[in-house]
C-alpha cells in the first residue's frame, strides 16, 4: 500500500470509509507529511499555502481524537475570518459525517451573541471560531474549554496580521495544559515563532514548499513608467485576459476603493474588499464575486486573508507584496486543483531591487512582458456571466434552496444549469442566475410564490 494513501493511516473505520466514499484516496504533501505526527499525538507546526489540503490534515486529527460519547467541547479551531471558519466547519462536518451525533458550532463576530449562548448551553463537541468572539465567550464564561484535547490555529499568520495577538494569548490561558496543539500557517514570520513557542510543546516542524510551474501558474511582470500607469495597466490586462474572476491586490485601503471605483466607471463589474467594510457588506461582496456576478475583486492582503475562492482565473498585483512569502501566497490563489492561472505583477523602476529579491526567493526569473496596446482602452468592458437576485425572505420564513430552485425551474421556467449559487441568511436570500435569462428569472420569482407567499425580489449590483 502506498505511504501516501489515506488507507495507510491508523484512522477510525468510519473516517476511512467516509474518505473512500468522498473519493479521497491519496494524501496531498501537507497531509502526508503532517498526519503521521498528528495522529501520533505530537504538536505540529506546519507551513503550507491555502488550498493545500491542510483543513483535512488537522480535521482528521480532531475527529480521530474525538470521544463522541462525551458531550463536552473537545476541540477548538481558531480561524482569522468568519468565511474561513464557516468553510472549516463545513469540511469537518463532511469528513465526520459517518461519526454518530457530532455537534459542531461556529462562534464568529458579525453575528448575534445571544443565539450563540443558547447553542452553547446545549453543548457541543467542536468549536470553530474567530479569536475575538471566542475570547468574548470565555471572558463572559459562556464557553468552557476544560475538556479540550485538541487546539488548532488555522492561518495563524493571518490572525496575527489582523491584530489578534492579544486575543490568542488570552485564549491560550483558558486552554488545558495537557492538550495537542496544531498550528498551520501559509508564511512563517518571526511573530509565528513567538506564539508557537508559547502554545506548543516540542513541536514537529513541517514545511511544504509549493513551486508554481508554467503548467499551473503563468507569472508575468509588467514594467510601468510611473505609478499613474497602474490603473491603466489593470484595465488593459482585464480587457486582454478577460478573466471571469480576477483578484487584484492593493497595499492600502484607499487604493482598493479608488481602483474599484475607476474600474466601475470604465464599465467593469468590480468590487472592493477592505477592512472598513461592515460584516453584512463584506458578506454581500464575497457572495457576488464567488457566484460570478462580479468579474473583479480589488482587495488588501488583510481583507483577503482566510478566503478560499475556487476557480480564480487571474491574480493581478497592483503593487508587489512587501514580502516574497506574501507574493507566493497571493498568486497561489489561482491555478488551484490542477487548473491553470495567470499572475500579473506591476512594477516601476524604483522597485527593481524588490523584483530581484522576489526572483531570488522564487529561484527563477519572472517573464518581463510589455503591456497590451493602449488601443484596447477603446473597447467596452466585458460583463460577468451571472447576475444576483435578492429575495426578501430567508431562514426565518423557512425558505430553503430547493424552494428557490423549484420556483425558477418550474413550468415554463429557466433551466437548472442557468441557476448558480444560492445563499440563504436569516431574513433574505441571494440567488445567481445566468445573465441571459435575467428577465425570465425576475418574472418567475416576482410573479410566482415561495412557501405559498409572494416576496420582494430585486437585482443586486453591489
Q: What is the CATH number of the domain that holds 247?
A: 3.40.50.300
Asked if residue 415 and residue 318 are part of one domain, the reply reads no
pLDDT of residue 138: 96
| Contact present, 345 and 121 (Cβ < 8 Å) | no
Which domain-ending residue is among 207, 240, 274? Answer: 207
Asked if residue 185 and residue 36 are part of one domain, the reply reads yes
Whether 122 is covered by a domain: the verdict is yes
Whether 87 is covered by a domain: the verdict is yes
> 345-369 as b/e, with b when 16 or more CB fall inside 10 Å?
bbbbeebeebbeebeeebeeebeee
Element (H, E) at 444: helix 438-447
| Contact present, 403 and 383 (Cβ < 8 Å) | no
Whether 14 is covered by a domain: the verdict is yes
**pLDDT exceeds cutoff 60 at 339:** no
Which domain-ending residue is among 179, 207, 235? Answer: 207
Closest by CA to 289, choosing from 225, 259, 245, 237, is 245
Which domain-ending residue is among 378, 399, 414? Answer: 378
Q: How confident is the model at residue 331 (pLDDT cuts 50, 70, 90)?
A: confident
- Percent pLDDT > 90 in the chain is 51
How far is Cα 395 from Cα 398, in angstroms, rounded to an integer? 5
CA atoms within a 13 Å half-sphere pointing along the CA-CB vector of 332: 21
Structural domain boundaries enclosing 438: 386-460
Beta strands 386-391 and 246-250 are: unpaired
pLDDT of residue 3: 65
Element (H, E) at 202: none
**pLDDT exceeds cutoff 90 at 283:** no
Instruction: Give me the helix-helix angle, 13-22 and 82-95, nearest 10°.
Output: 110
Asked if residue 13 and residue 120 are part of one domain, the reply reads yes
Q: What share of the chain is helix, strand, coil (3-state, %, to 5)?
A: 40, 20, 40
Whether 247 is covered by a domain: the verdict is yes
- Counting the structural domains of the chain, the total is 3
Closest by CA to 61, choosing from 71, 46, 50, is 46
Q: Reduce the DSSP state of residue 81 to 3 states and report it.
A: coil
Write the burial class of residue 164 (CB in 10 Å: 0-12 exposed, 13-18 middle, 19+ buried): buried
Least confident of 60-74, 102-116, 300-314, 403-417: 300-314
Distance of CA 42 to the CA centre of its chain: 27
How far is Cα 29 from Cα 207, in angstroms, rounded to an integer? 10
Beta strands 104-107 and 126-129 are: parallel
Asked if residue 264 and residue 300 are part of one domain, the reply reads yes
Whether 335 is covered by a domain: the verdict is yes
Asked if residue 143 and residue 286 are part of one domain, the reply reads no
pLDDT of residue 212: 47
CATH number for the domain including 410? 3.30.70.330
Query: Each residue of 398-433: pLDDT tens digit?
Result: 888 888 888 888 777 888 889 988 888 888 999 999
Separation in Å, CA 91 to CA 84, 85, 104: 11, 10, 11
250 forms beta bridges with 300
Query: Each residue of 344-370: pLDDT tens digit?
Result: 999 999 999 999 999 888 888 899 999
How far is Cα 325 from Cα 195, in angstroms, rounded to an integer? 19
Whether 212 is covered by a domain: the verdict is no
Asked if residue 221 and residue 151 are part of one domain, the reply reads no
Whether 428 is covered by a domain: the verdict is yes
Asked if residue 438 and residue 407 are part of one domain, the reply reads yes
Asked if residue 317 and residue 226 are part of one domain, the reply reads yes
Asked if residue 372 and residue 326 are part of one domain, the reply reads yes
Asked if residue 168 and residue 19 are part of one domain, the reply reads yes
Closest by CA to 282, choosing from 307, 265, 248, 262, is 307
pLDDT of residue 272: 95
Q: Which residue matches cell numbers 425572505? A: 393
| Contact present, 50 and 81 (Cβ < 8 Å) | no
> 222-249 as b/e, with b when 16 or more CB fall inside 10 Å?
bbbeeeebbbebbbbbbbeeebebbbbb
pLDDT of residue 269: 96
Q: Reduce the DSSP state of residue 407 to 3 states and report it.
A: helix
Asked if residue 165 and residue 223 are part of one domain, the reply reads no
272 forms beta bridges with 298
Write the burial class of residue 324 (CB in 10 Å: 0-12 exposed, 13-18 middle, 19+ buried): middle
Whether 1 is covered by a domain: the verdict is no
pLDDT of residue 214: 46
Asked if residue 188 and residue 230 are part of one domain, the reply reads no
Amino acid at each position: 500500500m502506498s505511504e501516501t494513501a489515506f488507507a495507510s493511516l491508523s484512522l477510525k473505520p468510519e473516517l476511512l470509509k467516509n474518505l473512500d466514499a468522498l473519493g479521497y484516496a491519496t494524501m496531498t504533501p501537507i497531509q502526508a507529511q503532517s498526519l503521521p505526527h498528528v495522529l501520533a499525538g505530537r504538536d505540529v507546526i506546519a507551513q503550507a499555502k491555502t488550498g493545500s489540503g491542510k483543513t483535512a490534515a488537522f480535521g482528521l486529527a480532531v475527529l480521530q481524537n474525538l470521544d463522541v460519547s462525551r458531550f463536552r467541547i473537545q476541540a477548538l479551531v481558531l480561524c482569522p475570518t468568519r468565511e474561513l471558519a464557516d468553510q472549516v466547519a463545513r469540511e469537518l462536518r463532511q469528513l465526520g459525517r459517518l461519526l454518530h451525533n457530532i455537534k459542531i458550532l461556529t462562534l464568529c463576530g458579525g453575528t448575534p451573541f445571544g443565539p450563540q449562548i443558547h447553542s452553547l448551553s446545549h453543548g457541543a463537541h467542536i468549536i470553530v471560531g474567530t479569536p475575538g468572539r471566542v475570547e468574548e465567550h470565555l471572558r463572559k464564561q459562556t464557553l468552557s474549554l476544560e475538556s479540550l484535547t485538541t487546539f488548532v490555529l488555522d492561518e495563524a499568520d493571518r490572525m496575527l496580521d489582523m491584530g489578534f495577538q492579544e486575543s490568542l494569548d488570552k485564549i491560550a490561558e483558558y486552554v488545558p495544559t495537557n492538550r495537542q496543539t496544531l498550528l498551520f500557517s501559509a508564511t512563517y514570520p518571526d511573530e509565528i515563532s513567538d506564539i508557537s513557542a508559547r502554545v506548543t510543546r516540542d513541536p514537529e516542524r513541517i514545511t511544504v514548499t509549493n513551486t508554481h510551474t508554467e503548467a499551473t501558474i503563468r507569472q508575468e511582470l509588467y514594467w510601468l513608467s510611473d505609478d499613474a500607469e497602474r490603473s491603466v495597466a489593470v484595465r488593459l490586462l482585464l480587457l486582454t485576459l478577460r478573466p471571469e474572476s480576477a483578484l487584484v491586490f492593493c497595499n492600502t485601503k484607499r487604493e482598493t476603493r479608488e481602483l474599484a471605483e475607476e474600474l466601475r466607471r470604465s464599465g467593469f463589474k468590480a468590487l472592493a474588499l477592505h477592512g472598513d467594510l461592515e460584516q453584512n457588506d463584506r458578506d454581500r461582496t464575497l457572495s457576488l464575486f464567488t457566484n460570478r456576478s462580479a468579474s473583479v475583486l480589488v482587495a488588501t492582503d488583510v481583507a483577503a486573508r482566510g478566503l478560499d475562492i475556487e476557480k480564480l482565473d487571474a491574480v493581478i498585483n497592483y503593487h508587489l507584496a512587501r514580502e516574497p512569502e506574501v507574493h507566493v501566497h497571493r498568486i497561489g490563489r489561482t491555478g488551484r486543483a490542477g487548473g491553470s492561472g495567470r499572475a500579473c505583477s506591476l512594477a516601476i523602476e524604483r522597485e527593481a531591487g524588490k523584483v530581484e529579491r522576489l526572483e531570488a526567493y522564487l529561484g527563477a526569473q519572472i517573464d518581463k512582458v510589455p503591456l497590451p496596446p493602449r488601443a484596447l482602452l477603446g473597447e467596452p468592458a466585458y460583463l460577468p456571466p451571472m447576475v444576483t437576485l435578492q429575495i426578501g425572505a430567508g431562514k426565518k420564513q423557512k425558505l430553503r434552496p430547493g424552494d428557490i430552485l423549484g420556483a425558477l425551474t418550474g413550468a415554463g421556467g429557466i433551466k437548472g444549469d442557468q441557476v448558480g449559487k444560492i445563499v440563504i441568511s436569516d431574513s433574505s436570500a441571494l440567488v445567481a442566475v445566468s445573465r441571459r435569462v435575467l428577465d425570465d428569472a425576475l418574472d418567475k420569482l416576482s410573479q410566482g410564490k415561495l412557501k405559498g407567499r409572494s416576496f420582494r425580489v430585486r437585482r443586486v449590483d453591489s
